[in-house]
Every structure is written in C-alpha cells, then in structure tokens.
Amino acid sequence: MEVGILDFSVSASQWKGSHVKGTLGQGTHIVRECCRAAGVEVRDLHRGWRGKLDVVMAGLFWWEHAYDLVLTLAAHGIEPDRVRRGGHPLVFVGGQLPSYNPGVLASIADLACIGDGEEVGPEVLRRLASGAAVRDLVEIPGVYVSEADNCAEWQQVADITGPVRWPFINRTVED
C-alpha cells in the first residue's frame, strides 16, 4: 500500500527558528514516525509525488488548509470531490480543523482523525492494508468516516515520546 503525507501548516525549525511552509509540522511528523514504528511506510509528499497513492494523509490546521488540500489534490491529478473520486486514493485528514469539525471536510476527505493521530493513524492504515472496508473504520475510536457521518470520540495520547525521536527537527529530508 502506497501512503503519503502532507502538512499545510507553517512550522518553525527548532534549530534555525525560521518558518518553512510545505514541510511536515510536528503533528504530521509524529504521526508519520508512529506509522513507521508500526511497520507502515508513509512518504513525505513534500519531497515529490511519484506514482499512484492508495492513501493521501494531510494535516490541516486552519480553515484555509481545506482550500490548500483541494488545490494540491487537483494539481496532482486527484479528484478533490470524495464521491466522484470513489476512494482512489483515500484522503485521510487530521489536525485541529478536522478534529473540531470533520463535517466541513466530508465532501473532500474520506476519513478524519479526531484528536491525536499517533495510535489512530497506524491502526487505520493497518486495517486498510488488510482489506478492511472504509465504512468499517467507524469501529476505531477517533475515526470519522465521511460516508457514515459518525460521531467520533476525541483521542488523546498520554505519552508520545516512545516512538518519536526528539528533539523534533522540521525538514523534508528523510532521516
């Protein structure tokens, strides 16, 4: 399964204090590393889009990031409308915007993570890789499924330090 991740936030590098748009922010970096620790490879799409993707993950913070996501999908030949896209690829969003109101993204995203994605992200990807139907993912706490319009419980991870290397460095170069 080919999975990629994007982040539309403006993030500051710990080492330089400079702001870089178009790199993984802290949340998306952590989710990517947790997925990797769980055995699911997730590529940083800011490094370039190569080949077809099965899942596009995106971290959305502000409301305008919904527009950024639509424009980015369209620029890469992916239908932004969820229904017309038909699940190829699946769009799985997380971050502050979908956590507080995933319904506004239901026409774009197939899935949304509500709250922390450190456990939700790897579990969703594992189930998808094993052939689970998207609608069945409502069973995972913290997952909003657009076609089901379910009520998802906020997830919070008490300790994220185990699978993530600190200090966090914001960059697109693979470690």
Instruction: Note the pLDDT of residue 112.
Output: 96
Per the confidence metrics, is the pTM higher than 0.95?
Answer: no
Identity of the amino acid at 27: G
Give the β-pairing of 90-94 and 111-113: parallel
Instruction: Note the pLDDT of residue 14.
Output: 44
Mean pLDDT by runs of 10 across the 175 residues of the chain is 84 45 75 89 83 92 88 92 95 92 94 91 95 95 93 75 50 44
Instruction: Note the pLDDT of residue 20.
Output: 52
Instruction: Note the pLDDT of residue 9.
Output: 67
Which residues are bridge partners to 19 per DSSP? Answer: 12
Instruction: Note the pLDDT of residue 172.
Output: 43
31 in Cβ contact with 58 (< 8 Å): no
